[in-house]
């Protein structure tokens, strides 16, 4: 079962960015090099759009509420800037620049929390992940794994797989 996020209108994106200023995107989403804080936003795109659909469904708006609460402690909500939001090695990566020292530990803990949660959440639909794909590492649920095809490893078997991948495939394939 595939989950599709409804594309937001510019008005919906503007409202989102008014609540969470750090989600305001100022550039061409197809060319990251065009991003500039001086560029006027057109609200066709936000930093939230950089997050894979399943994680967006599972984490938003809670992830932004938590970030905003941390940033408010240092009066840094309007100054905070993402550099990149992406998936890497199967988990959510949040890259940002220059933050006040008094919130760095709490921000790091927040980031670690969502890194770990993303490993347990299907990147496609947001349901609990039960499988890991091989090759390009991605955590997915059983339904999305079936729809994707290809090799997957049940998360419960990852230690066995990493101990001896060849033996694992010999004993777990028909």
The DSSP secondary-structure symbol of 75 reads: T
What does pTM read for this prediction?
0.87
Contact 24, 46 (CB under 8 A): yes
Q: Is the pLDDT of residue 35 over 50?
A: yes
pLDDT of 1:
44
Structure-model confidence comparison of residues 92 and 174, the more confident one: 92
Residues 55 and 103 in one domain: yes
Measured between alpha carbons, how far is 69 from 85 in angstroms, rounded to an integer?
19
Domain of 136 in residue numbering reads as 131-172
Q: Cβ(154)–Cβ(128) under 8 Å?
A: no
- Total domain count, the chain: 2
Mean pLDDT of the chain: 89
Residue 168 lies in a domain: yes
Residue % of the chain over a pLDDT of 90 = 69
Tokens of 52: 């894979």
Residue 171 in this model has a pLDDT that exceeds 60: yes
Residues 37 and 105 in one domain: yes
């Amino acid at each position: 079962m595939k989950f599709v996020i409804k594309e937001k209108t510019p008005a919906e994106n503007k409202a989102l960015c008014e609540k969470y200023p750090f989600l305001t995107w100022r550039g061409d989403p197809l060319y990251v090099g065009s991003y500039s804080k001086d560029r006027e936003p057109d609200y066709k795109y936000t930093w939230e759009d950089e997050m894979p659909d399943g994680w967006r469904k599972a984490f938003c708006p809670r992830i932004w509420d938590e970030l905003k609460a941390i940033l408010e402690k240092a009066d840094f909500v309007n100054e905070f800037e993402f550099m990149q939001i992406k998936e890497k090695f199967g988990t959510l990566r949040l890259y940002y620049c220059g933050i006040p020292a008094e919130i760095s530990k709490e921000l790091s803990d927040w980031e670690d929390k969502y890194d770990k949660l993303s490993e347990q959440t299907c990147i496609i639909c947001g349901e609990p992940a039960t499988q890991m794909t091989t090759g390009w590492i991605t955590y997915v649920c059983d339904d999305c794994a079936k729809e994707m095809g290809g090799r997957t490893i049940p998360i419960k078997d990852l230690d066995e797989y990493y101990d001896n991948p060849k033996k694992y495939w010999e004993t777990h394939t028909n």
